[in-house]
């Protein structure tokens, strides 16, 4: 099997590429990534000399390049992860999200259709369902009701993907997962940002009252689910993936402070994210029942391992938080910390 992974230098993508090389050693992985601020080849240093990992720097919106890669590497299937992925950035500037997430996905689907690929796996998100009240879970039949420019762009890509199956017969599978955490997550997202700030004795900016709930999924558990969905998912099928680990943001922040031995006085409640979704919670019973997936990590174990990874890999996150990213980061936090 030759698989084209898009966004393979990002957080989930780089974990997935490594997962595939380890657990599906016969497969060749072609990794197409534009290397935006969120993409980092350093995440894949251990595969530098691996002949079955082919890195190509490029944009998913470049149809000529996609056609060429499919032909040159005899690609059988696409696992599509490349995206602009941060909700706060989509509030600051939606356009990049429409270009990458909506138009970029469509370019890949067109290329897949014309090349008659055997499968197109679309990595969508639970955010397409919108926000839950205090009870209930998202199932695969929950109506889509996205709130932010990010989640609306993902919902568009998700629906266009399903339309390609319905209209053209392309073999697609869509996965909708909850919040991932683990090694190599860019420190703009809640868990790595709070670890990095705590270690630097900087304030930990908690949006609103800190009681918004996310349902946490360890990234390798997610990669295992994506691999099963690619291999065994039903054509046109949608699969929710979640770790059954609902936590309020403030609980997580306090767990991180305790893990690194820093005081809760570092917590700073700041102005809420506009349109902030209150609660996400996933019913993952379909993928468990139909594809035999089970997550291997409890949240407590996974978070402890993640904190340790950030402690052991300080140069990695200090480097990614410097340079152009630092300008964005500092301006955002100067603004937020006033609130
Ligand atoms: P990330 O931001 O860490 O990585 C995204 C990667 O895509 C980067 O390497 C970037 O360089 C690349 N990329 C962006 N635009 C590109 C383009 N036009 N062409 C080629 N490459 C491009 O994101 P992530 O957290 O790893 O998320 C991966 C996927 O999973 C995304 O589709 C995201 O919507 C989805 N997802 C993420 C989470 C989560 O908790 N992180 C949860 C649900 C769904
Ligand atoms: O500084 C912060 N303070 C804070 O309170 C940050 C960065 C976040 N938060 C809150 C907002 C959310 O309620 O923490 C929660 C998690 O925030 P993010 O890490 O930004 O993730 P979220 O907005 O939930 O989206 C993530 O999960 C779904 C990913 O970024 C998406 O790509 C994915 O689709």
Give the DSSP letter string of 21-63. HHH-TT-EEEEEE---TT--GGGGGGGTT-TTEEEEE--TT-H
Active-site residue, selected from the candidate residues 129, 150, 207, 310: 150
The answer to whether residue 42 sits within a structural domain is: yes
Q: Is residue 290 part of a domain?
A: no
Helical H segments across 98-244, by residue range: 104-115, 149-168, 190-199, 219-232
Give yes or no for a contact between 225 and 177, defined as CB atoms under 8 angstroms apart: yes
Integer Cα distance of 287 and 266 in angstroms? 40
CA–CA dist 205, 249 (Å, integer): 11
The DSSP annotation for 303-332 comes to: HHHHHHHHHHTHHHHHHHTSTHHHHHHHHH
**What is the greatest pairwise CA distance in the chain?**
57
> Among 59, 84, 126, 215, which one carries the catalytic annotation?
126
Output the pLDDT for position 321.
Answer: 85
Residue of 192, 196, 239, 242 lying closest to 217 (CA atoms): 242
Instruction: Name the residue with the closest Cα to ligand 2, atom 21.
Output: 189
Among 83, 90, 249, which residue has the most ligand 2 atoms within 8 Å of its CB, making it the best to mutate?
A: 249
In ligand 1, the atom with minimum distance to the C-alpha of 40 is 9
Q: Is residue 146 assigned to a domain?
A: yes
In a domain? residue 129: yes
- Positive or negative, the CA dihedral 117, 123, 127, 132 is positive
Closest ligand to the CA of 62: 1
Residue at 258 is within a domain: no
The per-residue DSSP string of 193-229 comes to HHHHHHHTT--EEEETTS--EEE-EEHHHHHHHHHHH
Give me the long-range contacts of 328-331 (CB less than 8 A, separation at least 24).
328/37, 329/188
Q: Which ligand has the nearest atom to the CA of 250? A: 2
- Of 33, 59, 127, 171, the catalytic one is 127
Instruction: Verify whether residue 231 is a known catalytic residue.
Output: no
Q: What is the Cα Rg of the chain in Å?
A: 19
42 contacts 67 by C-beta, under 8 angstroms = no
Within a domain: 269: no
- Alpha-carbon span 128 to 105, nearest angstrom: 16
CATH of residue 85's domain is 3.40.50.720
- Identify the pLDDT of residue 320: 86
Active site residue 221: no
> Does a structural domain hold residue 137?
yes
Is residue 128 in contact with ligand 2, taking CB distance under 6 Å? no
79, part of any domain: yes
Task: Please report the pLDDT score of residue 332 as a whole number.
Answer: 66
Q: What is the mean pLDDT of each run of 10 residues along the chain (339 residues)?
A: 98 98 98 96 95 98 98 98 97 97 98 98 98 97 98 98 98 98 96 96 97 98 98 98 97 98 98 97 98 97 98 93 70 61
Ligand 1 centroid, distance to 117 Cα (angstroms): 22
Give yes or no for residue 267 CB within 6 A of ligand 1: no
Helix, strand, coil % in the chain, rounded to nearest 5: 45, 15, 35
Domain of 76 in residue numbering reads as 2-181+219-241
Give, using CA atoms, the residue closest to atom 27 of ligand 2.
Answer: 179
Q: Which two tokens stand for residue 122?
A: 């679309």
Residue of 4, 5, 11, 328 to test ligand 1 pocket, by largest number of atoms within 8 Å of CB: 11
CA distance 69 to 16: 19
Among the bound ligands, name the one nearest to the CA of residue 16. Answer: 1
CA of 44 to the centre of ligand 1 (A): 15
Told to judge if 150 belongs to the known catalytic residues of this protein, a careful annotator would answer: yes
Q: How far is the CA of 271 from the centre of ligand 2 (A)?
A: 14
Tally of domains within the chain = 1
Would the CB of 193 count as within 6 Å of ligand 2? yes
Instruction: Judge whether 148 and 275 are in contact, CB under 8 Å.
Output: yes
Which helix H or strand E contains 278, and what residues bound it?
none
């Amino acid at each position: 099997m030759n698989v084209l992974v898009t966004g393979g230098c990002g957080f989930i993508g780089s974990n997935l590429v490594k997962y595939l090389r380890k657990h599906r050693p016969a497969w060749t992985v072609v990794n197409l990534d534009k290397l935006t601020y969120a993409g980092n080849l350093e995440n894949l240093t251990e595969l530098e000399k691996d002949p079955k990992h082919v890195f190509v720097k490029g944009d998913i919106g470049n149809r000529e390049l996609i056609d060429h890669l499919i032909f040159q590497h005899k690609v059988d299937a696409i696992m599509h992860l490349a995206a602009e992925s941060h909700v706060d950035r989509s509030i600051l500037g939606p356009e990049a999200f429409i270009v990458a997430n909506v138009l970029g996905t469509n370019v890949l689907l067109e290329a897949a259709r014309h090349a008659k690929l055997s499968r197109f796996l679309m990595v969508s998100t639970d955010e397409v369902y919108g926000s839950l009240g205090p009870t209930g879970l998202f199932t695969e039949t929950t109506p889509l009701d996205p709130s932010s420019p990010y989640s609306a762009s993902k919902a568009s890509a998700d629906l266009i993907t399903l339309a390609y199956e319905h209209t053209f017969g392309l073999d697609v599978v869509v996965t909708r997962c909850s919040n991932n955490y683990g090694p190599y997550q860019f420190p703009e997202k809640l868990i790595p940002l709070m670890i990095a700030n705590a270690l630097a004795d900087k304030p930990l900016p908690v949006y609103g009252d800190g009681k918004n709930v996310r349902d946490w999924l360890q990234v390798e558990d997610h990669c295992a689910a994506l691999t099963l969905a690619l291999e065994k998912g039903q054509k046109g099928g949608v699969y929710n993936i979640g770790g059954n680990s609902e936590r309020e943001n403030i609980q997580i922040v306090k767990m991180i402070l305790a893990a690194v031995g820093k005081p809760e006085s570092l917590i700073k409640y700041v102005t809420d994210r506009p349109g902030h979704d209150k609660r996400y919670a996933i019913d993952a019973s379909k993928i468990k029942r139909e594809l035999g997936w089970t997550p291997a990590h409890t949240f407590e174990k996974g978070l402890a391992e993640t904190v340790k990874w950030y402690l052991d890999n300080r140069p990695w996150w200090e480097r990614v938080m410097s340079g152009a990213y630092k300008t964005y980061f500092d301006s955002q936090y100067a603004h937020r910390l006033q609130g």
